[in-house]
Amino acid sequence: MKIYDRGNEVEVSGISDFNLSKTFECGQCFRWKKDEHGAFTGVANGRAVRVRQNGDKFIFTCSVEDFESLWRYYFDLDRDYTEVRRQLCIDEFMEKATAFGAGIRILKQDKWEALCSFIISQNNNISRIKTIIEKFCSVYGELFTFCENQHYTFPTAEKIASVDAKDLGSINCGYRAEYIIDAARMVACRKIDLDALASGTIDAARAALKKIHGVGDKVADCVMLFGLHKLDAFPVDVWMKRAVAKYYGPDFSPEIFRPYAGLAQQYIFHYIRSCNRDKI
């Protein structure tokens, strides 16, 4: 990877397996918006960036310092995803799924934001999830300006812990309000230590997350994969149940994809939703 300082932009080349649309639109994140030029702007960890692709180069609208301290890590740019895909090609189906999903990267999102976002995602569609989260940020986040546009940070757990569930009525999150408040209070008082869970085992993290009101296996596994960056977490929804039943039978275990079961899940999910949805 080569990094060039272009003033208010950073040009990066030598990144393989990075597709902006696939990464931002695969269901792992909710605060990235695509403009008419094909560039994406998003907010993470209290800062914003605009990123676009020009041939084999990626241009980030930020300082070199911000790129090195945040965005290089956030986009997991030092991981060789081409090699990961090679390791996951254990059969013909995965050869097709990994080839189709080439370019997906697992973002290293803020742990609390991932937890709160996937609580909101329950029984919801992507468009509505994004709307709720943007409203949530505009009401409880901090306002800042980036590229002459206004943006909001994601509200801290401490701030949300101080409000009541009924106060979240304005963001139209419905019954999930009580779940959000419970999660915020447990995180704020460190009854749930997300940093500690990130460094522990998957089983321990899942058990701890499920102590939060409204968090089951699916949400816990999404939080582990997209927030705690446990790449062996394997979220299972209706689509995934159908896919693994069809291609691997009733005795399927994510263990066959270790240590990258989470990436396998993303490739399978993207492939069946995009190409094989009528056959599942």
Report the CATH number at residue 188. 1.10.340.30
Closest CA to 51 of 26, 76, 80, 75: 75
The answer to whether 240 and 273 have CB atoms below 8 angstroms apart is no
**pLDDT on residue 16:** 87
Q: How many domains does the chain have?
A: 3
39: in domain: yes
The answer to whether residues 69 and 131 belong to one domain is no
Measured CA to CA in angstroms, residue 58 lies from 67, 72, 193, 245 at distances of 12, 12, 35, 38
**pLDDT on residue 277:** 57
190: in domain: yes
Tokens representing 208 are: 């701890």
94: in domain: no
258: in domain: yes
Spatial distance between the Cα atoms of 261 and 90, rounded to a whole number of angstroms? 12
| b/e burial code for range 147-185 (CB count within 10 A of at least 16 → b) | eeeebbbbbbbeebbebeeeebeebebeebbbbbbbbbb
Spatial distance between the Cα atoms of 253 and 276, rounded to a whole number of angstroms? 21
The answer to whether residues 115 and 213 belong to one domain is yes
Strands, E assignment, the chain: 2-5, 10-13, 32-34, 40-44, 47-54, 57-61, 143-146, 149-152
The answer to whether 137 and 33 have CB atoms below 8 angstroms apart is no
| b/e burial code for range 33-60 (CB count within 10 A of at least 16 → b) | eeeeeebbbbbbbebbbbbbbeeeebbb
The answer to whether residues 243 and 162 belong to one domain is no
The answer to whether residues 196 and 248 belong to one domain is no
Burial class of residue 215, CB neighbours in 10 A (0-12, 13-18, 19+): buried
The answer to whether residues 145 and 198 belong to one domain is yes
Spatial distance between the Cα atoms of 165 and 173, rounded to a whole number of angstroms? 10
Domain boundary among 53, 78, 103: 78
The answer to whether residues 218 and 116 belong to one domain is yes
Backbone region of residue 46 per phi and psi (left: phi > 0; alpha: psi in -120 to 50; beta: other values): left
3-state secondary structure of 104: coil
**pLDDT on residue 273:** 85
The answer to whether 223 and 118 have CB atoms below 8 angstroms apart is yes
101: in domain: no
The parent domain of residue 28 ranges over: 2-78
> pLDDT 10s per residue in the chain (280 long)?
999 999 899 999 999 899 999 999 999 999 999 999 999 999 999 999 999 999 899 999 999 999 999 999 999 999 999 999 999 999 999 999 999 999 999 999 999 999 999 999 998 999 999 999 999 999 999 999 999 999 999 999 999 999 999 999 999 999 999 999 999 999 999 999 999 999 999 999 999 999 999 999 999 999 999 999 999 999 999 889 999 999 999 999 999 999 999 999 999 999 998 876 555 5
247: in domain: yes
199: in domain: yes
The answer to whether residues 115 and 220 belong to one domain is yes
155: in domain: yes
Spatial distance between the Cα atoms of 205 and 15, rounded to a whole number of angstroms? 32
Measured CA to CA in angstroms, residue 185 lies from 13, 180, 191 at distances of 42, 9, 8
3-state secondary structure of 71: helix
Spatial distance between the Cα atoms of 226 and 247, rounded to a whole number of angstroms? 25
Residues in the chain, total: 280
